[in-house]
């Protein structure tokens, strides 16, 4: 029975699928399609992080990092540039250490 995915997968996933005796069809994306697929993958992985606990949380965070790394590489953004932006935003807007939840404004 065929199953449609139409999503970005890690490089070795087709090989792993074929080793399990299942055929699969793949396509190589253009750069523009790849960047869009990475953004969609970021949303997918963030959802999985939100649902995970324990060791599963560690694995899902690792997947999220992998997508972030790929996004940075595809857009030519250095890790230092991200860390600088993070530091500036933390300085001007704060971090999340105080566990504040905004309930409403009036």
Assess if residue 93 is contained within a domain: no
pLDDT at 83: 97
Assess if residue 92 is contained within a domain: no
pTM: 0.89
pLDDT at 37: 98
Assess if residue 25 is contained within a domain: yes
Assess if residue 104 is contained within a domain: no
Assess if residue 7 is contained within a domain: no
pLDDT at 82: 97
pLDDT at 69: 97
Determine the structural domain holding residue 41 and report its residue range. 13-79
Provide the number of structural domains found in the chain.
Answer: 1
pLDDT at 1: 77
Assess if residue 69 is contained within a domain: yes
Q: Which of 43, 73, 81, 48 is nearest to 62 (CA)?
A: 48
How far is 70 from 47, CA to CA, in rounded Å?
Answer: 18
Q: Is 10 helix (H, G, I), strand (E, B) or coil?
A: coil
pLDDT at 46: 98
pLDDT at 74: 97
> From its phi and psi, is residue 73 left (phi > 0), alpha (psi between -120 and 50) or beta?
alpha
Contact 30, 12 (CB under 8 A): no
Assess if residue 6 is contained within a domain: no
pLDDT along the chain (106 residues), means of 10: 93 97 96 97 98 96 98 97 98 97 96
Contact 45, 63 (CB under 8 A): yes
Assess if residue 103 is contained within a domain: no
Q: Which residue has the tokens 């793949």?
A: 26
């Amino acid at each position: 029975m065929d199953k449609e995915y139409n999503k970005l997968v890690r490089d070795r996933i087709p090989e792993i699928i074929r080793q399990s005796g299942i055929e699969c069809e793949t396509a190589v994306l253009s750069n523009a399609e790849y960047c869009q697929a990475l953004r969609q993958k970021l949303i997918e992985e963030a959802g999985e992080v939100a649902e995970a606990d324990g060791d599963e949380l560690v694995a899902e965070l690792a997947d999220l990092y992998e997508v972030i790394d790929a996004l940075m590489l595809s857009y030519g953004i250095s890790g230092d540039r991200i860390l600088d932006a993070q530091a500036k935003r933390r300085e001007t807007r704060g971090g999340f250490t105080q566990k504040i939840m905004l309930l409403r404004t009036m």
